[in-house]
Each structure stands twice: as C-alpha cells, then as structure tokens.
C-alpha cells in the first residue's frame, strides 16, 4: 500500500532528509587513504547520535552497522570493519537516519585519491542517471518512466549494467515502503505517481555486467565480474509541480571539492 504524506509530514521528513546530507558531508570532509571503514562508520554514527537521530540501518533485519559501506566491486549492503581505504578506491556510503518519526535515506559514492578516467565516468553517469530519473518523478507519470530514464542513461547509452535484484522504494515512517522503484523498466508502466508520494530513487550501476553475487558474510552484494559499481540516492517527493528533492548533495559536493584526498566525481 502506498502511503501519501501531508504537507506537514513532508516538511518534517525534509528536516530528516537534510540531516542525512549533513552526515555525509561530515564524513566527506575527513575521508582519506589510511582510514578504516570502521572509522568512516563511527564518524557517521556519532554525527547521527549527536544530532538526535537514530541510524536507520543499524539492526535493520540484523544489519550489523550504522552505515552501509560498499567498496569498489561491492554494490551495496557492505558493512564496516578493518578494511583500509587506499588511493584509487571508490567507496559508496549509504546513510539512513530516523528522526521525528520519519526516515531519510541517501547514498553517495566517493573517490579516494585519484581514480581512473573510466571509474570517474561511471560515477558521473550514475549520478546523472539519478537526476534523469528524478526529472520524471512528476504527478501523472508512472514508476516505469523514472525506471526507464535511469536505464536509458546508463545501460542503453553507456553499456553499463543495471542491477535487477535491488531497487529504490517508497520512504516515510518505514524505511522501505511501497512502491518499489526499479532502475530499469518500460515507460508508462507501474504505479501512477501522485502528490504526496516520497520515493528513494537510487541507481546502482555496474561498470560491467548487471549480475551480482552475494558474499558469504550474509550482507555484501558484489558485481559478478568484479568490476566497480556506483550508487547515488536521493529522496524525492511528488508534487503537483516540479519534483521536490528532500535530500541534498550540496554540502557533500562542497566537502568533496574542499577535501584534497577526494576526486571530484562529476
């Protein structure tokens, strides 16, 4: 069942969603080679707690950490540990915060040090595809219009693999609500978009094949061919007019530009 949000609920959600961007920015300022993924997680978790939030992912179906941290060929659902960041890595951070009765959920892929032009392109195209999808998030369109726009920009135009097993979702008082928001599909298919829907739109795009495999840690999902994968996610409210992006990358991008240990990903 799709739950439509009132204007007041949207404004409460916006505060939570904006806090997710601030949590990203807090860690983006500090990312550098030599850090462990656990240190990355701890910065995020502390920021969330200091700002009156609860990490949405911690203990979600038993997930072992506050942050999903997926390196290089890991697509999503990786978790932190003793792994050390090094020059040339890409690291996808997916952060969820529960505050004031609602969840915010936003992912961003960072490049540590300098990365190859091909990986830079993967990040750029994946981020562009997120905005291509958002552009279709308009009352009267359907989920398939968002899905198709993402697939068109990544798989059809650039030959990347769009993961089929993992999709975006509705968002609100629950972390995962209806409807599902795939990153592939047919124009004009699926549920109709209506004012008050909030969607987490999140292309998960592989440089190589679309197939994924599950690591035996029970969580991490990897590309089948071992090539890198990128992930960007915004929470978007459907309105009568333009799509309303509740999350923000502005502070993240400022932090990315200011941090000499990161490559600007667009």
Measured CA to CA, the distance from residue 221 to residue 213 in angstroms comes to 6
Closest distance of CB 200 from Mg ion, Å = 4
Q: Which of 9, 45, 89, 94 binds Mg ion (CB under 5 A)?
A: 94
Cross-strand partners of 108: 93
10 binds Mg ion (CB under 5 A): no
Return the residue of 9, 45, 89, 105 that touches Mg ion, per CB under 5 A.
Answer: 105
**For Mg ion, which is the closer residue by CB, 105 or 253?**
105
> By rule CB under 5 A, what string of x and - marks binding of each residue 18-47 to Mg ion?
------------------------------
Residue 149 binding Mg ion, by CB under 5 A:
no
| Cα 189 from chain centre | 23
- DSSP strands (E only) in the chain: 54-55, 67-71, 74-76, 90-99, 102-112, 161-162, 168-170, 177-181, 198-201, 204-206, 212-214, 221-223, 229-231, 234-237, 244-245, 262-263
Among 166, 167, 148, which residue's Cα sits nearest to residue 157?
Answer: 148
Strands 204-206 and 212-214: unpaired
In sequence order, the β-bridge partners of residue 98 are 54, 103
When the beta carbons of 108 and 160 are compared against Mg ion, the nearer one is 108
Least distance between Mg ion and beta carbon 106 (Å)? 6
Toward Mg ion, which CB reaches closer, 44 or 107? 107
Tell me which residues in 231-250 interact with Mg ion (CB under 5 A): 233
Q: Smaller CB distance to Mg ion: residue 20 or 31?
A: 20
Give the interface with Mg ion as residue ranges (CB under 5 A). 94, 105, 107, 200, 233
């Amino acid at each position: 069942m799709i739950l439509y949000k009132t204007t007041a609920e949207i404004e409460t959600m916006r505060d939570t969603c904006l806090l997710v961007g601030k949590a990203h920015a807090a860690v983006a300022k500090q990312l550098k080679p030599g850090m462990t993924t656990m240190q990355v997680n701890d910065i995020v978790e502390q920021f969330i707690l200091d700002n009156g939030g609860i990490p949405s992912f911690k203990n979600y179906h038993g997930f072992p950490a506050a942050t999903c941290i997926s390196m290089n060929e890991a697509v999503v659902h990786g978790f932190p540990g003793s792994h050390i960041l090094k020059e040339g890595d890409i690291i996808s951070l997916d952060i969820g915060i529960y505050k004031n009765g609602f969840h915010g959920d936003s992912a961003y892929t960072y490049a540590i040090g300098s990365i190859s032009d091909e990986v830079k392109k993967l990040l750029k195209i994946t981020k562009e595809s997120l905005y291509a999808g958002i552009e279709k998030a308009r009352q009267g369109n359907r989920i398939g219009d968002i899905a198709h726009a993402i697939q068109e920009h990544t798989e059809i135009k650039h030959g990347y693999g769009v993961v089929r097993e993992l999709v975006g979702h509705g968002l609100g008082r629950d972390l995962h609500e209806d409807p599902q928001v795939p990153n592939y599909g047919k124009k004009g298919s699926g549920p109709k978009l209506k004012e008050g829907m909030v969607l987490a739109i999140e292309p998960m795009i592989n440089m190589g094949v679309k197939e994924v495999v599950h690591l035996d840690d029970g969580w991490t999902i990897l590309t089948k061919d071992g090539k890198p994968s990128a992930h960007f996610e915004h929470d978007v409210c459907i309105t009568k007019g333009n799509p309303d992006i509740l999350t923000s990358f502005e502070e993240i991008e400022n932090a990315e530009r200011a941090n000499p240990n990161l490559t600007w990903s667009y």
